[in-house]
Amino acid sequence: MSRIGVLGGMGPSATVDFMEKIIQLTPATRDQEHLPVIVANLPHVPDRSSAILGTGPDPLAALLAGIDLLNDIGVGVIAIPCNSSHHWYAQMAARSRAPLIHIAQSCVAAITHSLDGRPARVAVLATRGALASGFYQQALRARDIDFLVPDAATGQDHVDACIRAVKGGDMQAGAAAFERALQALAATGATAVIMGCTELPIAAEAAHATDHTAMTLVDSSLELARATVTFALDKGWNKPTWVS
């Protein structure tokens, strides 16, 4: 059970980005000090956002099949680097034999630390489905954090374009769309931006967004990776008994 399970492929680039963050966050100086990870890269799961909005097939059966696969392997914790899939968090957690880390809870928990005591007004950038689901809004309200959700005037169309571009492998277009989304948010008073789709941090890196925005960018993939690594290190999974 001393293995991290990743239910990925939603999308594949976001899964690779998440894995890179797991590696970078692990305090290792040799192979044997890294954390064991089993990745189920399952890109054929139906589109989560479309399903939430009622315009596409239900992905729950495919998500649960992925959980079953990781159950059969015997992982000790599961992380899912796809925000919109957390609309079905309760059903997946009930199916999983291992703890299932919630990406939004991990991300929102990092807000106060990220802002270093400054007042927070948080813009939530995510798929339209994730926003309709409301799990980010619920997590922010639970911590009394002021937030806004963009509309067409404040950048949602640009967010949509960014996500499509990254999923399609066009990082340049994704970076440009992400920059336009930040520009649209500039007049809203937002002090922080939750990148609540795991394609968005990829675009932000390509755009070098942290170099030219006063808003704090909170990376949902990074916060999920931090929570996952913390869980695994606390269990000592980086110290197998057969390695001297």
- Tens-digit pLDDT profile for the chain (244 aa)? 689 999 999 999 999 999 999 999 999 999 999 999 999 999 999 999 999 999 999 999 999 999 999 999 999 999 999 999 999 999 999 999 999 999 999 999 998 766 666 667 999 999 999 999 999 999 999 999 999 999 988 899 999 999 999 999 999 999 999 999 999 998 898 999 999 999 999 999 999 877 778 899 999 999 999 999 999 999 999 987 665 4
* Pairing status of strand 121-125 against strand 77-79: unpaired
Predicted local confidence at residue 62, as pLDDT: 98
Residues 6+ apart with CB under 8 A from 60: 88, 91
Predicted local confidence at residue 24, as pLDDT: 98
Side by side, which strands form the sheet with 4-8?
37-41, 4-8, 77-79
Predicted local confidence at residue 111, as pLDDT: 86
Distance between CA atoms of 150 and 35, rounded to whole angstroms? Answer: 37
Q: What's the Rg (C-alpha) of the chain?
A: 18
Query: Architecture of 104-220 per CATH?
Result: 3-Layer(aba) Sandwich (3.40)
Predicted model pTM: 0.95
Predicted local confidence at residue 113, as pLDDT: 67
Report CA torsion sign: 104, 174, 176, 212: positive
- Range list for CATH 3.40.50.1860 in the chain: 4-102+224-234, 104-220
**CB 218, CB 111: distance < 8 Å:** yes
H/E element, 148: strand 146-148
Please tell me the CATH code under which domain 4-102+224-234 is placed: 3.40.50.1860
